[in-house]
Copies of this chain bind each other. A is one copy, B any other.
Amino acid sequence: MPIFPGDPTPKFESVLNLERDNVNVSRITLGTHTGTHVDSQKHFITNGVGIEKESLSKFIGEAVVMDFSNKTRGDGITSYDLDNYSSLIVPNDIILLYTGTSDYWYDDYMDKVGKKFTYLDPSAAKWILSHKIKSIGIDTFSVEKYGSKEALTHKKLLGSGIGIIENLNSNLRQFVGRRVFLVCLPLALKELDGSPARAIIFDILD
């Protein structure tokens, strides 16, 4: 997986070894926003809640998977882009945004995509609020434009209690245009600004 510039470098070290110690045990060193992860309010909000207090019900439920792989990389998804999906969503839905930049994860992400990943324009954050979406997921580093100091999208979403899942992987592509059931579970890490999470999608059969 690619690492956001400035985030800690992940490390996975053997601590106990099956041949020597009769057991394999490892030490994981990982940033809170590395790989697929959930942001807590604390990521951008003063006195915001830590990840252990984010309600899991935001990250479990029906989700509409939207295809924005036709956007130019580096551009923001706007409220107008989301309007194309208005008829498909109902209040309390989750929306999952496939941008296609996750397709480069395993090879040459930093060459081909790097800081030019598709993000969520602040107008999209307003749209998400007004449509009563409970959380959003995206297959890029961040919902925010790279280098933004104001972090308007994060602040609008987190400040309004809307969940944010970032760095979903390219498995998302298989589900574009469909309504699915998402379960995404961050670790309950006390007072932290986010946590790596495993996300799974279930088919909804008609």
- Which residues of A approach B to under 8 Å, CB–CB? 6-8, 12, 15-16, 18, 22-33, 35, 42-44, 46, 56, 60, 149, 151, 183, 185-190, 192-198, 200
Question: How many protomers of this protein does the assembly include?
Answer: 2
Q: Compute how far the CA of A183 lies from the CA of B197 in the bound complex, rounded to whole angstroms.
A: 13
| B189 pairs with A24, CB closer than 8 A | no
| B15 pairs with A8, CB closer than 8 A | yes
A30 proximity list for chain B (CB < 8 A) = 27-28, 30
| B44 pairs with A24, CB closer than 8 A | yes
Q: Compute how far the CA of A33 lies from the CA of B151 in the bound complex, rounded to whole angstroms.
A: 36
* A185-B183, A187-B198 as given contacts; A31 in contact with B26, CB under 8 Å: yes
